[in-house]
A and B are shown apart, each in its own frame.
Chain A
Amino acid sequence: MGGDLDPTRGMYWSWQSGYINFKLEGYYTVCPSRDHFFQLHLGGYLAPFSSAQRIRLDAAEGSEIQLDLAPLLNGVRWEEKYSIMSPSAAAQRLSEILSQSFSAHAQ
């Protein structure tokens, strides 16, 4: 749990064990919340809501890894849930979308 995994870095849930694997917070005009604020904290290691994803990318040395956020933002059901803070079916669905959104590009 040292380095970037140190719990002081804000990527560990406190009330329940487990790292937050992916965190995105911000303002999005389609979000029906106050000030359009949304919080997506995706994590969870216990079945059935395990959000860990194995991603395999074939990349040449020195490649740049890109993450396309559009599929994730289009995948969120904004009218239902814009604040995800614990392991759930929604977190699992979004982490599956995310796992498809990485790509490697040679420089």
Chain B
Amino acid sequence: MLVYTTCLLVLGLVVGMGWPMADPYLLQYPAIWPKPAYDFSRNPLTKQGVALGRHLFYEPALSRDGTISCSSCHLSYTAFTHVDHALSHGINDRIGTRNSPTLMNLAWSRSFMWDGAVNHLDMQALAPIANPDEMGEDISHVVGKLQDKAPYPGMFYAAFGDSIITGEHLLKALAQFECTLISAHAKYDQVQEGTATYTAQEQNGYRLFQQNCASCHAEPLFTSGEFARNGLPLDTILQDYGRMRISQQQADSMMFKIPTLRNIEFSHPYMHDGRFKTLREVLNHYTSVGTPIGKANLNANEKTDLIAFLLTLSDHDFLFNPNYGYPRE
């Protein structure tokens, strides 16, 4: 059994200077985690910036017909995924081509979307705003709408020192809010800290996880951040070849970003196209088809144990964090 003696310290992040009238926001995360990939010196987190980003995340004016906000597909109570939807739908009930992922620990990601189409968190929001199956809007039009809508000019001033709204400030505010979505209080984390213990079943599941899954879904973020082929056959209707669309390299065919498994209980249906409904179906894939590294060798009891471990990654503090929900004044 692995015993972690290091105590989990909570680190405050030293932030660079933003608009000097705004109050610095202290990001907290466990000391044993790696450093975030996000460059905070270029977009220092402030309380006002995060508050604005949260408003924007729940703002349906970001969509063409004013019906869809980011939260329509990324619901805080389910770790910010579109629960129960294999493929997400946007304005006018248009159906997209991919399953909406959980949003958490984004400050540690170096690439975004299932195929890594987006290389920076600040630029990510442009994709859903412009996508005709999602919000179907034009960023310059959104900026115009917000300029005429209270409380936005005042909130932009408080956050960035300028009440003239720009695309840059809109995107940076959204990124600031998204950087605060940190999930680090699951039972797994408490066990690492030494404040909780696994049941025998969870303990065995953890062992099986480390043997079969951790090379890709690496601790403590439960993703190595890399792209991989996990053996899923091509869906002949959606024709989604993953990373190859971006790199145009044959070698990247069917490569997808390794998703985090934190809060995996809530992100069903699973995979980029939501093809599996349950964790058991996911495990059946890994034992029958397997990945290029090989098939996982798990009997029915071991699958149950592994699932018990995966459920220790659910973080109820994260799901019900009052700072993440719809902003009520």
Contact = CB atoms under 8 A, between A and B. Distances in A.
B166 A6 contact: yes
Which of A2, A15, A46: most chain B CB closer than 10 A? A15
Interface string A1-21: 110011111101011111000
14 contacts: A6-B166, A6-B168, A7-B123, A7-B171, A9-B167, A10-B140, A14-B139, A15-B127, A16-B117, A16-B118, A16-B246, A17-B117, A17-B119, A49-B248
Which of A8, A15, A49, A88: most chain B CB closer than 10 A? A8
A1 B124 CA distance: 13
Interface residues of A, number: 18
B321 to A, nearest CB: 29
Contact of B129 (A2, A6, A14): A14
A14 B127 contact: yes
Given A1-B171, A14-B129, A8 B117 contact: no
Place the interface of chain B in its size category: 20 to 34
Interface in B109-162: 117-120, 122-123, 126-127, 129-131, 139-140, 143
Interface of A: 1-2, 5-10, 12, 14-18, 46, 49, 87-88
Contact of B130 (A15, A18, A88): A15
B120 A14 contact: no
Nearest to B143: A8
Interface string B1-43: 0000000000000000000000000000000000000000000
Given A6-B167, A15-B117, 16 more contacts: A1-B122, A1-B123, A1-B171, A6-B168, A8-B166, A8-B167, A9-B167, A12-B123, A12-B126, A14-B129, A16-B117, A17-B117, A17-B120, A17-B123, A46-B247, A49-B248
Contacts of A6: 166-168
Contacts of A46: 246-247
Nearest to A13: B126
A9 B118 CA distance: 19
